[in-house]
């Protein structure tokens, strides 16, 4: 049995929505639906009652939850133990979204290099769904993502809620006094993946972007070069604004949602002490 089907099933149990599960898993809604259908074929019973309202679990679906968690726990535990045998020294495998590394983690790691750690630190930069899936499968010991984990075997702690700002690089700074949401729709905005899908639809539905790079920091040089606009975390944009390379633009009639960062980690782990040390370090930085 494909364990990804079980992960999708548990995600639907948590969200009570195929659509929401598809969004946070970066899957199409048809893929989520097909995975549930395949599980129903395997077990020969219906797992959800599908209606016009929220999804409801059948009795069979309720019974499957415990078995699905047990199977995934066994897989994760095995992966964690195998990771620990790859080196003679304790090693902490940490995955983080690019925006958190650019805004915070790079400075935190740099500061920590002058101190002795009880483990080797290995950092992998990924996108949010890859971070969470990697922690769930045991590929990484812990991670920093834009979303919390929806699985009972993992804890999620909010580290930061960073302000998102619209910035521009046009020399005339024509919108330095602010802009309406309607005016914003006509801007030449370069896109990076910092928003929930429903917010992206609202921001870009009338003005499709002509450039998209899925790492925000990589898009900045092109924004500056072409006098364009983009959305950035204020922590990252601040120094560029102070240098005069960018300027912030107030949206008068719309409030951008904050960019959140969650520390995701298993409740039980062979290197729980190392995870605790890192968690406290990240929290103290905020």
Q: Is the model's pLDDT at 70 over the cut of 90?
A: no
Asked: is 87-161+260-285 a CATH 3.40.190.10 domain? The reply is yes
pLDDT for the residue 100: 94
Question: What pLDDT is stored for residue 50 in this prediction?
Answer: 79
Within this chain, domains 87-161+260-285 and 164-257 share the same CATH topology: yes
Residue 208 pLDDT greater than 70, yes or no: no
pLDDT band at 223 (very low <50, low <70, confident <90, very high): very high
- Which of 75-84, 146-155, 226-235, 264-273: highest mean pLDDT? 226-235
Q: Which span out of 5-14, 193-202, 219-228 was modeled with the highest average pLDDT?
A: 219-228
Cα separation of 106 and 125, whole Å? 11
User: Residue 200 above 80 pLDDT?
Assistant: no
The share of the chain scoring above pLDDT 90, in percent, equals 41
Confidence of residue 198 (pLDDT cuts 50, 70, 90): low
Rounded Cα distance between 31 and 37, Å, is 10
pLDDT of residue 248: 96
Is residue 10 within 8 Å of 36, Cβ to Cβ?
no
> Stretch 166-190: mean pLDDT, rounded?
91
Average pLDDT, the chain: 85
More confident: 13 or 72: 13
Own/partner pairs, 174-179, CB within 8 angstroms, 24+ separation: 175/249, 176/247, 176/249, 177/250, 178/249, 178/250, 178/251, 178/252, 179/249, 179/250, 179/251, 179/252
Whether 279 and 175 have beta carbons less than 8 Å apart is answered as no
Over residues 45-52, mean pLDDT: 84
pLDDT digits (tens, 9 = 90+) for 24-45: 777 888 999 999 999 999 989 9
Among 178, 163, 160, residue whose Cα is nearest residue 247: 178
Let me know: does 123 contact 61? Beta carbons within 8 Å.
no
- Topology of the domain covering 3-81: Arc Repressor Mutant, subunit A (1.10.10)
Q: Using CA atoms, how far apart are residues 29 and 22, in angstroms rounded to an integer?
A: 5
The crossing angle, in degrees rounded to 10, of helices 3-15 and 18-25 is 120
Q: State the average pLDDT over residues 138-167.
A: 91
Residue 198: CB atoms within 10 A of its CB come to: 12
pLDDT for position 96: 96
Average pLDDT over residues 158-186: 92
Residue 205 reports pLDDT greater than 90? no
153 close to 69: Cβ distance less than 8 angstroms: yes
Task: Give me the residue spans of the domains in the chain.
Answer: 3-81, 87-161+260-285, 164-257
Closest by CA to 12, choosing from 29, 179, 3, 235, is 29
Q: CA 122 to CA 114: how far, in whole Å?
A: 16
State pLDDT tens for residues 229-270.
Answer: 999 999 999 999 999 999 999 999 988 889 999 999 999 888
Q: Residue 172 phi/psi, 5° resolution?
A: -75, -15
Q: How confident is the model at residue 82 (pLDDT cuts 50, 70, 90)?
A: low
As a CATH number, domain 164-257 is: 3.40.190.10
Strands 120-126 and 91-97: parallel
């Amino acid at each position: 049995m494909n364990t990804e089907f079980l992960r999708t099933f548990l995600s639907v149990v948590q969200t009570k929505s195929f659509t929401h599960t598809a969004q946070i898993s970066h899957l199409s809604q048809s893929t989520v639906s097909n995975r549930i259908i395949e599980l129903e074929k395997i077990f020969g019973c219906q797992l959800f009652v599908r209606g016009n309202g929220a999804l409801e679990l059948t009795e069979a679906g309720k019974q499957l939850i415990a078995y699905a968690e047990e199977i995934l726990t066994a897989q994760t535990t095995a992966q964690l133990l195998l990771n620990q045998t790859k080196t003679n020294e304790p090693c902490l495998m940490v995955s983080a979204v690019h925006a958190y590394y650019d805004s915070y983690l790079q400075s935190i790691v740099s500061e920590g290099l002058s101190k002795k750690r009880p483990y080797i630190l290995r950092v992998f930069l990924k996108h949010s769904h890859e971070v969470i899936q990697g922690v769930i499968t045991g590929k990484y010991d812990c991670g920093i993502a834009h979303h919390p984990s929806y699985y009972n075997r993992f804890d999620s702690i909010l580290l930061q809620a960073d302000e998102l700002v619209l910035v521009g690089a046009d020399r005339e700074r024509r919108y330095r006094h602010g802009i309406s949401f309607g005016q914003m729709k006509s801007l030449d905005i370069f896109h990076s993946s910092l928003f929930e899908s429903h917010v992206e639809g609202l921001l870009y539905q009338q003005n499709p972007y002509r450039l998209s790079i899925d790492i925000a920091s990589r898009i900045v040089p092109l924004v500056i070069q072409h006098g364009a606009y983009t959305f950035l975390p204020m922590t990252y944009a601040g120094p560029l604004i102070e240098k005069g390379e960018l300027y912030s633009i107030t949206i008068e009639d719309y409030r951008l949602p904050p960019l959140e960062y969650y520390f995701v980690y298993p409740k039980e782990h062979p290197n729980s002490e190392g995870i605790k040390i890192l968690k406290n370090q990240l929290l103290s930085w905020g």
